[in-house]
Amino acid sequence: MPSVSDEALKNYLRAGAIAKEAREFGVAHVRAGITSLEIVNAMENLIYERGARCAFPVNIGVNEVAAHYTPSRDNNLVFKTGDVVKIDVGAHVDGYAADTAATVEVSTTRYANMIKSAEDALTMVIEMVRPGTPLSSIGATVSRTIRGAGYRPVENLTGHSMERFNLHAGLSIPNIETKDKSVVAEGMILAIEPFSTAGSAGKVGGRGRGPIYKIIRDRKAPSEVMALFGKMNNEFGGFPFAGRWCDKLHPNAEPLVTKMFRLGMIMSYPILTELSNGLVAQAEHSVLVTSTGCRVLT
Protein backbone atom coordinates (compact mmCIF):
# COMPACT_ATOMS: atom_id res chain seq x y z
CA MET A 1 0.00 0.00 0.00
CA PRO A 2 1.53 3.32 -1.01
CA SER A 3 1.73 5.74 1.88
CA VAL A 4 1.75 8.84 -0.28
CA SER A 5 -1.36 9.75 -2.26
CA ASP A 6 -1.35 9.73 -6.07
CA GLU A 7 -1.71 13.50 -5.97
CA ALA A 8 1.30 13.90 -3.66
CA LEU A 9 3.39 11.51 -5.74
CA LYS A 10 2.54 13.37 -8.94
CA ASN A 11 3.65 16.65 -7.39
CA TYR A 12 6.82 15.19 -5.88
CA LEU A 13 7.76 13.74 -9.26
CA ARG A 14 7.22 17.07 -11.00
CA ALA A 15 9.14 18.97 -8.33
CA GLY A 16 11.91 16.38 -8.60
CA ALA A 17 12.15 16.58 -12.39
CA ILE A 18 12.27 20.39 -12.29
CA ALA A 19 14.86 20.52 -9.49
CA LYS A 20 16.95 18.02 -11.43
CA GLU A 21 16.76 20.11 -14.59
CA ALA A 22 17.80 23.24 -12.65
CA ARG A 23 20.70 21.37 -11.03
CA GLU A 24 21.91 20.10 -14.40
CA PHE A 25 21.62 23.59 -15.85
CA GLY A 26 23.75 24.96 -13.01
CA VAL A 27 26.37 22.24 -13.35
CA ALA A 28 26.60 22.84 -17.10
CA HIS A 29 27.00 26.61 -16.78
CA VAL A 30 29.43 27.11 -13.90
CA ARG A 31 32.70 28.35 -15.35
CA ALA A 32 35.50 30.80 -14.60
CA GLY A 33 34.54 34.42 -15.10
CA ILE A 34 30.79 34.24 -14.53
CA THR A 35 29.07 35.33 -11.34
CA SER A 36 27.14 33.13 -8.97
CA LEU A 37 24.20 35.55 -9.30
CA GLU A 38 23.93 34.89 -13.07
CA ILE A 39 23.75 31.12 -12.47
CA VAL A 40 21.32 31.43 -9.58
CA ASN A 41 18.98 33.80 -11.43
CA ALA A 42 18.90 31.48 -14.44
CA MET A 43 18.23 28.42 -12.28
CA GLU A 44 15.51 30.10 -10.22
CA ASN A 45 13.85 31.45 -13.40
CA LEU A 46 13.89 27.96 -14.89
CA ILE A 47 12.05 26.60 -11.84
CA TYR A 48 9.31 29.24 -12.19
CA GLU A 49 9.07 28.82 -15.97
CA ARG A 50 8.43 25.10 -15.49
CA GLY A 51 5.53 25.89 -13.18
CA ALA A 52 7.17 25.12 -9.82
CA ARG A 53 8.49 27.43 -7.11
CA CYS A 54 11.78 27.55 -5.28
CA ALA A 55 11.66 25.60 -2.03
CA PHE A 56 14.65 27.72 -0.93
CA PRO A 57 17.08 30.08 -2.68
CA VAL A 58 19.64 28.26 -4.83
CA ASN A 59 22.62 27.73 -2.51
CA ILE A 60 26.08 28.22 -3.99
CA GLY A 61 28.89 27.01 -1.77
CA VAL A 62 32.36 27.85 -3.03
CA ASN A 63 35.36 25.94 -1.62
CA GLU A 64 35.19 25.90 2.23
CA VAL A 65 31.62 27.27 2.22
CA ALA A 66 29.42 24.21 2.76
CA ALA A 67 25.89 25.61 2.94
CA HIS A 68 23.50 28.56 3.35
CA TYR A 69 25.16 30.98 0.95
CA THR A 70 23.15 32.53 -1.85
CA PRO A 71 24.24 35.63 -3.75
CA SER A 72 22.76 38.96 -2.68
CA ARG A 73 21.19 41.50 -5.02
CA ASP A 74 24.49 43.30 -5.61
CA ASN A 75 26.72 40.25 -5.41
CA ASN A 76 29.63 39.94 -7.80
CA LEU A 77 31.27 36.74 -6.60
CA VAL A 78 33.01 35.48 -9.74
CA PHE A 79 33.93 31.81 -10.18
CA LYS A 80 37.66 31.15 -10.63
CA THR A 81 39.59 28.23 -12.07
CA GLY A 82 40.04 25.59 -9.37
CA ASP A 83 36.97 26.57 -7.34
CA VAL A 84 34.99 23.67 -5.86
CA VAL A 85 31.38 24.80 -6.32
CA LYS A 86 28.37 23.19 -4.66
CA ILE A 87 25.00 23.91 -6.23
CA ASP A 88 22.04 23.01 -4.01
CA VAL A 89 18.56 23.55 -5.39
CA GLY A 90 15.02 22.93 -4.19
CA ALA A 91 11.75 23.15 -6.10
CA HIS A 92 8.23 22.63 -4.83
CA VAL A 93 4.88 22.05 -6.49
CA ASP A 94 2.01 22.94 -4.18
CA GLY A 95 4.26 22.46 -1.15
CA TYR A 96 5.68 19.10 -2.23
CA ALA A 97 9.42 19.71 -2.37
CA ALA A 98 12.45 18.08 -3.92
CA ASP A 99 15.97 18.98 -2.84
CA THR A 100 19.12 18.10 -4.83
CA ALA A 101 22.75 19.13 -5.10
CA ALA A 102 25.92 18.52 -7.07
CA THR A 103 29.52 19.71 -6.95
CA VAL A 104 31.68 20.94 -9.85
CA GLU A 105 35.34 21.86 -9.88
CA VAL A 106 35.95 24.77 -12.24
CA SER A 107 38.31 23.61 -15.06
CA THR A 108 40.59 21.49 -12.84
CA THR A 109 40.44 17.94 -11.43
CA ARG A 110 42.48 18.23 -8.24
CA TYR A 111 39.51 17.39 -6.06
CA ALA A 112 37.74 14.99 -8.40
CA ASN A 113 38.18 12.14 -5.90
CA MET A 114 36.75 14.19 -3.05
CA ILE A 115 33.71 15.06 -5.17
CA LYS A 116 33.39 11.43 -6.26
CA SER A 117 33.50 10.23 -2.64
CA ALA A 118 30.36 12.25 -1.84
CA GLU A 119 28.66 10.98 -5.02
CA ASP A 120 29.66 7.38 -4.26
CA ALA A 121 28.36 7.70 -0.69
CA LEU A 122 25.04 8.94 -2.07
CA THR A 123 24.84 6.02 -4.50
CA MET A 124 25.59 3.52 -1.71
CA VAL A 125 22.87 5.00 0.50
CA ILE A 126 20.30 4.95 -2.31
CA GLU A 127 21.09 1.25 -2.79
CA MET A 128 20.56 0.44 0.90
CA VAL A 129 17.49 2.55 1.73
CA ARG A 130 14.29 0.54 2.26
CA PRO A 131 11.74 0.26 5.07
CA GLY A 132 13.63 -0.73 8.21
CA THR A 133 17.06 0.59 7.22
CA PRO A 134 18.58 2.10 10.41
CA LEU A 135 19.71 5.72 10.11
CA SER A 136 22.87 4.72 11.97
CA SER A 137 23.87 2.33 9.19
CA ILE A 138 23.24 5.03 6.58
CA GLY A 139 25.65 7.27 8.49
CA ALA A 140 28.19 4.46 8.80
CA THR A 141 28.02 3.79 5.05
CA VAL A 142 28.54 7.46 4.18
CA SER A 143 31.45 7.72 6.59
CA ARG A 144 33.11 4.50 5.41
CA THR A 145 32.80 5.47 1.74
CA ILE A 146 34.21 8.96 2.18
CA ARG A 147 36.99 7.93 4.58
CA GLY A 148 37.88 5.08 2.23
CA ALA A 149 38.66 7.70 -0.41
CA GLY A 150 40.93 9.57 1.97
CA TYR A 151 38.55 12.39 2.98
CA ARG A 152 36.34 13.18 5.96
CA PRO A 153 32.55 13.25 6.11
CA VAL A 154 31.19 16.54 7.47
CA GLU A 155 29.80 15.24 10.74
CA ASN A 156 27.43 18.04 11.66
CA LEU A 157 25.60 18.33 8.35
CA THR A 158 22.78 15.89 7.70
CA GLY A 159 20.10 14.96 5.25
CA HIS A 160 16.48 15.29 6.31
CA SER A 161 12.99 13.91 5.94
CA MET A 162 10.49 16.18 4.16
CA GLU A 163 6.74 16.60 4.25
CA ARG A 164 4.39 18.93 2.46
CA PHE A 165 5.45 22.55 3.16
CA ASN A 166 8.13 21.25 5.50
CA LEU A 167 11.76 20.81 4.39
CA HIS A 168 12.91 19.44 7.74
CA ALA A 169 10.19 17.10 8.95
CA GLY A 170 12.00 15.74 11.97
CA LEU A 171 14.34 13.00 10.81
CA SER A 172 18.04 13.79 10.32
CA ILE A 173 19.97 11.47 7.99
CA PRO A 174 23.49 11.33 9.42
CA ASN A 175 26.78 11.34 7.53
CA ILE A 176 28.63 9.53 10.34
CA GLU A 177 28.04 6.59 12.66
CA THR A 178 25.45 7.48 15.32
CA LYS A 179 23.56 5.79 18.11
CA ASP A 180 20.23 6.85 16.60
CA LYS A 181 17.81 3.90 16.69
CA SER A 182 15.39 5.39 14.12
CA VAL A 183 14.68 3.49 10.94
CA VAL A 184 13.45 4.39 7.48
CA ALA A 185 9.75 3.78 6.77
CA GLU A 186 7.73 3.34 3.60
CA GLY A 187 6.28 6.56 2.24
CA MET A 188 8.98 8.82 3.69
CA ILE A 189 10.48 11.48 1.46
CA LEU A 190 14.17 11.77 2.29
CA ALA A 191 16.80 14.24 1.16
CA ILE A 192 20.07 12.35 1.37
CA GLU A 193 23.12 14.58 1.25
CA PRO A 194 26.62 13.35 2.04
CA PHE A 195 29.31 16.03 2.40
CA SER A 196 33.02 15.20 2.06
CA THR A 197 35.87 17.50 3.00
CA ALA A 198 39.62 17.78 2.66
CA GLY A 199 39.61 19.78 5.90
CA SER A 200 40.99 18.41 9.16
CA ALA A 201 38.00 19.48 11.27
CA GLY A 202 35.28 17.58 9.43
CA LYS A 203 32.79 20.02 10.89
CA VAL A 204 31.14 23.25 9.84
CA GLY A 205 30.18 26.31 11.80
CA GLY A 206 28.91 29.80 11.21
CA ARG A 207 27.70 32.88 12.96
CA GLY A 208 26.01 36.15 12.23
CA ARG A 209 23.41 37.07 9.69
CA GLY A 210 23.40 35.16 6.42
CA PRO A 211 21.63 35.92 3.13
CA ILE A 212 18.91 33.28 3.55
CA TYR A 213 15.92 33.85 5.83
CA LYS A 214 12.78 32.19 7.08
CA ILE A 215 9.60 33.67 8.52
CA ILE A 216 9.18 32.94 12.23
CA ARG A 217 6.19 34.92 13.45
CA ASP A 218 3.88 37.86 13.02
CA ARG A 219 4.50 40.82 15.31
CA LYS A 220 3.25 44.34 15.70
CA ALA A 221 5.39 46.50 13.43
CA PRO A 222 5.15 49.74 11.42
CA SER A 223 2.59 49.51 8.61
CA GLU A 224 5.20 49.56 5.86
CA VAL A 225 6.89 46.55 7.46
CA MET A 226 3.54 44.77 7.87
CA ALA A 227 2.61 45.38 4.23
CA LEU A 228 5.79 43.68 3.00
CA PHE A 229 5.56 40.96 5.65
CA GLY A 230 2.07 40.02 4.47
CA LYS A 231 3.30 39.66 0.90
CA MET A 232 6.29 37.61 2.03
CA ASN A 233 4.03 35.34 4.04
CA ASN A 234 1.87 34.70 0.97
CA GLU A 235 4.85 34.25 -1.29
CA PHE A 236 7.25 32.14 0.84
CA GLY A 237 5.15 30.73 3.71
CA GLY A 238 7.40 28.49 5.78
CA PHE A 239 10.02 28.03 3.05
CA PRO A 240 13.38 29.80 3.27
CA PHE A 241 13.83 32.87 1.05
CA ALA A 242 16.54 35.26 -0.13
CA GLY A 243 16.65 38.95 0.71
CA ARG A 244 16.93 39.70 -3.02
CA TRP A 245 13.58 37.98 -3.65
CA CYS A 246 11.88 40.68 -1.58
CA ASP A 247 12.91 43.36 -4.11
CA LYS A 248 10.09 42.11 -6.35
CA LEU A 249 7.59 42.66 -3.53
CA HIS A 250 8.57 46.15 -2.41
CA PRO A 251 10.68 48.98 -3.92
CA ASN A 252 12.48 49.53 -0.62
CA ALA A 253 12.64 45.98 0.69
CA GLU A 254 16.19 45.82 2.06
CA PRO A 255 15.80 48.07 5.16
CA LEU A 256 12.36 46.57 5.87
CA VAL A 257 13.81 43.06 5.85
CA THR A 258 16.49 44.27 8.27
CA LYS A 259 13.74 45.65 10.52
CA MET A 260 11.90 42.32 10.45
CA PHE A 261 15.11 40.55 11.33
CA ARG A 262 15.73 42.88 14.31
CA LEU A 263 12.11 42.45 15.45
CA GLY A 264 12.45 38.66 15.38
CA MET A 265 9.81 38.23 12.66
CA ILE A 266 12.30 36.43 10.42
CA MET A 267 15.41 34.42 11.19
CA SER A 268 18.54 34.04 9.10
CA TYR A 269 20.72 31.03 8.47
CA PRO A 270 24.41 31.72 9.15
CA ILE A 271 26.72 30.80 6.28
CA LEU A 272 28.36 27.47 7.21
CA THR A 273 32.05 26.98 6.46
CA GLU A 274 34.36 24.09 7.22
CA LEU A 275 36.07 24.93 10.51
CA SER A 276 39.62 24.33 9.23
CA ASN A 277 38.77 26.08 5.92
CA GLY A 278 39.04 22.79 4.07
CA LEU A 279 37.32 22.34 0.71
CA VAL A 280 33.90 20.72 0.83
CA ALA A 281 31.95 18.63 -1.72
CA GLN A 282 28.29 17.62 -1.59
CA ALA A 283 25.98 15.28 -3.48
CA GLU A 284 22.23 15.13 -2.84
CA HIS A 285 19.08 13.46 -4.08
CA SER A 286 15.54 13.34 -2.77
CA VAL A 287 13.97 9.89 -2.67
CA LEU A 288 10.61 8.32 -1.92
CA VAL A 289 10.89 5.20 0.23
CA THR A 290 8.89 2.40 -1.42
CA SER A 291 7.96 -1.04 -0.08
CA THR A 292 11.16 -2.58 -1.42
CA GLY A 293 13.67 0.25 -1.71
CA CYS A 294 13.52 3.85 -2.80
CA ARG A 295 12.69 5.85 -5.89
CA VAL A 296 15.00 8.76 -6.75
CA LEU A 297 12.92 11.87 -7.48
CA THR A 298 15.76 14.11 -8.62
Measure CA 17 to chain center.
Answer: 16
Binding segment for Co ion (CB under 5 A), chosen from 99-107, 110-118, 144-152, 175-183, is 99-107
Taking only Cα atoms into account, the Rg of the chain, rounded to an integer number of angstroms, comes to 19
Shortest Å distance, C-beta 286 to Co ion? 8
Shortest Å distance, C-beta 157 to Co ion? 9
Helical segments of 50-165, H only: 112-128, 135-148
Helical segments of the chain, H only: 6-29, 36-49, 112-128, 135-148, 223-236, 253-263
194 binds Co ion (CB under 5 A): no
Residue closer to Co ion (CB basis): 63 or 100: 100
Site size for Co ion (CB under 5 A): 2
The type of residue at 146 is I
Binding segment for Co ion (CB under 5 A), chosen from 39-47, 94-102, 128-136, 205-213, is 94-102
Active site (catalytic) residues: 88, 99, 160, 168, 193, 284
The type of residue at 201 is A
55 binds Co ion (CB under 5 A): no
Residue closer to Co ion (CB basis): 83 or 99: 99
Residue closer to Co ion (CB basis): 16 or 256: 16
Residue closer to Co ion (CB basis): 197 or 225: 197
Residue closer to Co ion (CB basis): 63 or 161: 161
Q: How far apart are CA 122 and CA 153, in angstroms?
A: 12
Burial of 81 (0-12, 13-18, 19+ CB in 10 A): exposed
176 binds Co ion (CB under 5 A): no
Q: How far apart are CA 282 and CA 86, in angstroms?
A: 6
Binding to Co ion by CB under 5 A, coded x per residue (else -) over 136-175, reads: ----------------------------------------
Shortest Å distance, C-beta 21 to Co ion? 17
285 binds Co ion (CB under 5 A): no
Q: To 10 degrees, what angle do helices 223-236 and 253-263 make? A: 90
Instruction: Tell me the β-bridge partners of 152.
Output: 197
**Binding stretches for Co ion (CB under 5 A):** 99, 191
